[in-house]
Amino acid sequence: SDKTMPMIDPHECNEWIDDRLSNNDLFQQRGHWSTLYIETPLVSFHVEYRRSDWFNSVCDFQSLDAWMTKVSDKLHKSEWNGILGETRHKVYDSKTGEQIKADRSQL
């Protein structure tokens, strides 16, 4: 099915990727988001990166968001530690019953 095919043709993008490596400028875009998909046999990640306009940075900033999109059965059955372990399952406030989505101190 089309859902299992790559979103980009690696051969078509090789020249662009090689240029980014040679110029060391993968993250030097003009304030737009860069999206990276990382797939391994155990886990897949979706990563979003954005920085201020490299060439005209009035307000210099960087933003990085990442999340798991797929986890193998083997990895899912293992023990998770750190922030991943804390957020593996939904956590609810015992007083309000609301899902905790921010304020890590409540976990």
Are the CB atoms for 107 and 86 separated by under 8 Å? Answer: yes
Single pTM value for the model: 0.54
Tell me how far apart the alpha carbons of residues 43 and 66 are, in angstroms, rounded to a whole number: 13
Sequence length of the chain is 107
Q: Please report, in tens digits, the pLDDT of each residue of the chain (107 residues total).
A: 455 555 566 676 778 778 878 888 776 666 677 788 889 899 999 988 877 766 666 777 778 888 888 999 998 888 887 766 666 778 888 899 998 877 767 76
Are the CB atoms for 87 and 81 separated by under 8 Å? Answer: no
**CA distances (Å), 97 to each of 33, 38, 91, in order?**
35, 35, 9
